[in-house]
Amino acid sequence: MQLEKRKFVDPHMHLWDVTKGWYHFPTPDNNFGLGDVSRWPQVFSIEDYYSALSGVSVEKFIHVSATATPQSAYQETHWLAEIAQSHGGLKAIIGTLDSTQPISKIEAILDDQMTTPLYRGIRLLQEIDYSSPEGQNLLSLLSERKLVYDAVAHPGGGIARAAVAAARHPDLTFIIEHTGWPLQTDRDHFAEWKNEIAEFAAVPGTICKLSGLGMTFHRTDSEAFSRYWEYCLDLFGPQRCMFASNFPVEQLYGEFEGLLATFEKAVAGLSDAEQADVFGGTAERVYRI
């Protein structure tokens, strides 16, 4: 008898098609620390996505802008909205923008993007100065519109600064992406990461997206993943954690089955209800899907 597949709501995946001309892709000379990007797919469709994640039953997924330039965010959002009309699994869109623009321009961009019902918020690949008037105004705009903020932050001060910003904006849903995104260097960042992620978790209502460690370790079956994920689950609790695939980026480092097996090990001690939160319930609540 075939076992039922794990039900999964994926809160972080990407689609792209380089023929659209919107994208700034990594190259072998400028690979953003991703490793061997020569195998990077030039097109990654919904069909490719479902095929890659065939080991689970993907019930819903959320698209997060990754390679589209900020100037192309409008086109990408509307392209995705069209895709969603024929693929019911796509339930929400996290866009991007150029945070250096005047706040009035950013406000207009957000209001325009929100005309797409699937639009839920933004992520910025560049870290912003949260203490500046511009940074605080941007987060206030998101909070006022009940949009979420997917934060890119790293140990070495970035996660700590995100924690301070989250505390200043208690009404904003503030999500730390990719497990706090430890950087790939010769030094072990775990102790530094551990202290900062604890500061972030101490802010009520913050969320941790358990994903992206393939970009740090350049493999998906690493025992190193478990100590990060288990620590986050203890800190935040299952109702504030969500597992995400980050595909096809993580596909550079191995198949989804290896990633899933490592995560299943991390959640093995949780109850069925807690596991259901991490694999779907948290994402559904946070992104309102």
- Best CA proximity match to 154, nearest among 200, 121, 120: 200
Rounded distance between C-alpha atoms, residue 186 and residue 174, angstroms: 30
pLDDT at 27 exceeding the cut of 80 = no
pLDDT above 50 for 1: no
Predicted local distance difference test score (pLDDT) of residue 219? 87
Write the burial class of residue 209 (CB in 10 Å: 0-12 exposed, 13-18 middle, 19+ buried). Answer: buried
Summarised one tens digit per residue, pLDDT across range 37-78 is 777 788 999 999 999 999 999 999 999 998 778 878 888 999
Concatenated DSSP letters of 79-137 = HHHHHHHH-TTEEEEEE---TTS-HHHHHHHHHHHTTSTTEEEEE-SS---TTSHHHHH
Nearest alpha carbon to residue 216 among 187, 244, 236:
187
Does residue 168 have a pLDDT over 60? yes
- Tokens at 255, concatenated: 């198949």
pLDDT over 90 for what percent of the chain? 77
Nearest-angstrom CA–CA distance, 251 and 244: 13
**Which range among 70-74, 130-134, 162-166, 241-245 shows the weakest confidence by mean pLDDT?**
70-74
Are 233 and 266 in contact by the 8 Å Cβ rule? The answer is yes
Residue corresponding to tokens 């105004």: 137
Supply 137's token pair.
Answer: 């105004």
**Residue 28 confidence class, pLDDT cut points 50, 70, 90:** low
Domains of the chain: 8-287 (3.20.20.140)
| Alpha-carbon span 168 to 93, nearest angstrom | 25
Specify the pTM: 0.94
pLDDT for 185 beyond 70 = no
DSSP string spanning 219-260? -SS-THHHHHHHHHHHHH-GGGEEE---BTGGGGS--HHHHH
The model's pLDDT over 191-214, given as tens digits with 9 standing for 90+, comes to 899 999 999 999 999 999 999 999
